[in-house]
């Protein structure tokens, strides 16, 4: 009996050993598997694995374009209507007639608005990893208009060359804070509207995940769900601030979203995820975000830039630079030369020769813009490559479950 018991236990022990070995070989502990996936995810960048990153990026780009083409094919009636409308607009654009001045005006305004809306989208899309287009484009544009307004005594810059180039008008007028705000209102509001549009992808992702009950393979959404599970145990300031934003939006609704969108708020990335997760109606979320970002917040940012670059403030800042010990005079000189060069450009008239060459400050700013744009492009490539890697892992896990 003892021998029979020992013999019957041996196959079970061998089977258990086999399962244990298979478990070690195929099914790692959940935490260890997540850690390994996180390390692979972080290492898939251009400066660590360039060839694999570019390969995954190209595959993800192909899949994305294929998905867009498939959606367009399903909406072919709408696409056909838009194509016919574009054909009619093209005919009206090329036919000569008295309507051409209105066509040119609409073309100019449409392209100008589309430019700033696009920059706004680039600024907010990507859950905080977007291109900082306010610092690179809109802020300098408002500053240039402010400096020109005080130098020229007017904001009625001749068009053309404005907005490509600012030249003082022949006659001076009266300027005030309100006239400068009105001059840059269109581009500022369009940029704010673009930032509101850029907040929509996380909203739709979280909403679709909540309605379908699926667990999306998105790291930001997974962190958001972990934050919801740990709302009571949050200790550090960043976690408490995120929980406060989430509770404000969840309890107050429209006015909570409006309050968060109306101030420069780095935590507003959570708003789209929160509203989508708790199924806040689309127009409640987007309406509050649009009003907050394109109207209230945009006027706050405009006022800050206009006041900062008003004539007397700029002169005081340049004087303060000169008060820096040892390096003050050396630093003050290029700033004064730059301001004088900009003033000379404002009074430059075509045919009077070329204005003075730009100094190293403008050269340095251009190089900073180029570096930031290149970094943004690299972040897009890395993000799409990592998305393909997630897709690949998800497909592999699905196949293993079916087997």
Instruction: Give the 3-state secondary structure percentages of the chain, helix then strand then coil, rounded to 5.
Output: 75, 0, 25
Choosing from 309, 324, 353, the residue where a domain stops is 309
Give residue 9's pLDDT: 44
The pair of three-digit structure tokens given for residue 253, joined into one six-digit string:
């609704």
In Å, what is the CA distance from 142 to each residue of 135, 184, 304, 373? 11, 7, 10, 20
Residue 353 has pLDDT above 80, yes or no: no
Residue 45 neighbours by CB distance under 10 Å: 18
Give residue 80's pLDDT: 92
Same domain? For 198 and 86 the reply is no
Distance, C-alpha 126 to centroid of its chain: 6
**Greater pLDDT, 357 or 144:** 144
Same domain? For 76 and 177 the reply is no
Give residue 370's pLDDT: 83
What's the total number of domains in the chain?
A: 2
Whether the CB-CB separation of 260 and 250 falls below 8 Å is answered with no
Same domain? For 65 and 196 the reply is no
In Å, what is the CA distance from 163 to each residue of 175, 183, 268, 358, 387? 18, 11, 32, 19, 39
**φ and ψ at residue 189, rounded to 5 degrees:** -70, -40
Average per-residue pLDDT in the chain?
77
Q: What's the rounded Cα separation, in Å, for the pair 186 and 183?
A: 8
Asked if the structure places residue 212 within a domain, the reply is yes
The pair of three-digit structure tokens given for residue 204, joined into one six-digit string:
């739709």
Same domain? For 85 and 109 the reply is no
Host H or E run for residue 122? helix 100-124
Same domain? For 279 and 214 the reply is yes
Give residue 20's pLDDT: 44
Distance, C-alpha 194 to centroid of its chain: 9
- Provide the residue range defining the domain that includes 167: 103-309
Torsion angle (degrees, nearest 10) of CA 169, 170, 176, 182 = -30
Residue 19 has pLDDT above 70, yes or no: no
Same domain? For 78 and 204 the reply is no
Going by C-alpha positions, the residue among 57, 29, 32, 3 that lies closest to residue 386 is: 57
Banded model confidence at residue 231, pLDDT cuts 50, 70, 90: low
The pair of three-digit structure tokens given for residue 320, joined into one six-digit string:
């303060």
Whether the CB-CB separation of 194 and 124 falls below 8 Å is answered with yes
Same domain? For 155 and 259 the reply is yes
Which residue has tokens 């430019």?
Answer: 115
The pair of three-digit structure tokens given for residue 268, joined into one six-digit string:
């507003």
| Percent of the chain topping pLDDT 90 | 14
Mean pLDDT over 238-251 rounds to 69
Same domain? For 247 and 138 the reply is yes
Give residue 336's pLDDT: 76
């Amino acid at each position: 009996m003892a021998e029979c018991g020992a013999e019957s236990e041996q196959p079970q022990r061998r089977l258990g050993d086999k399962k244990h070995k298979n478990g070690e070989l195929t099914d790692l502990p959940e935490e260890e598997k997540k850690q390994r996936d996180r390390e692979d995810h972080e290492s898939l960048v251009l400066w660590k694995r360039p060839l694999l990153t570019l390969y995954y990026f190209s595959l993800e780009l192909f899949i994305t374009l294929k998905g867009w083409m498939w959606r367009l094919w399903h909406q072919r009636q709408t696409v056909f209507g838009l194509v016919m409308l574009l054909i009619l607009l093209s005919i009206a654009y090329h036919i000569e007639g008295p309507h051409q001045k209105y066509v040119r005006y609409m073309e100019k305004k449409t392209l100008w608005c589309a430019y700033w809306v696009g920059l706004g989208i680039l600024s907010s899309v990507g859950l905080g990893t977007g291109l900082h287009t306010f610092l690179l484009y809109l802020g300098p544009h408002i500053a240039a208009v402010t400096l020109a307004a005080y130098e020229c005594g007017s904001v009625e810059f001749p068009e053309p060359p404005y907005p490509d180039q600012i030249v003082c008008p022949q006659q001076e007028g009266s300027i005030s804070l309100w006239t400068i705000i009105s001059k840059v209102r269109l581009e500022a509001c369009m940029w704010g509207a673009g930032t509101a549009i850029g907040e929509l992808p996380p909203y739709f992702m979280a909403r679709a995940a909540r309605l379908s009950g699926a667990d999306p393979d998105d790291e930001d959404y997974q962190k958001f769900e972990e934050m919801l599970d740990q709302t009571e145990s949050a200790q550090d300031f960043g976690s408490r601030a995120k929980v406060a934003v989430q509770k404000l939006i969840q309890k107050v609704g429209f006015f909570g979203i409006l309050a968060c969108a109306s101030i420069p708020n780095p935590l507003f990335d959570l708003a789209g995820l929160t509203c989508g997760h708790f199924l806040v109606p689309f127009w409640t979320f987007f309406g509050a975000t649009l009003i907050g970002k394109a109207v209230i917040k945009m006027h706050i940012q405009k006022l800050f830039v206009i006041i900062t670059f008003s004539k007397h403030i700029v002169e005081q800042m340049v004087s303060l630079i000169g008060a820096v010990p040892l390096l003050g005079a050396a630093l003050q000189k290029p700033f004064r030369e730059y301001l004088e060069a900009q003033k000379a450009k404002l009074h430059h008239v075509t045919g009077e020769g070329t204005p003075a060459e730009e100094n190293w400050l403008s050269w340095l700013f251009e190089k900073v813009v180029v570096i930031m744009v290149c970094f943004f492009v690299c972040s897009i490539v890395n993000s799409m490559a990592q998305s393909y890697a997630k897709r690949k892992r998800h497909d592999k896990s699905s196949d293993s479950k079916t087997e």
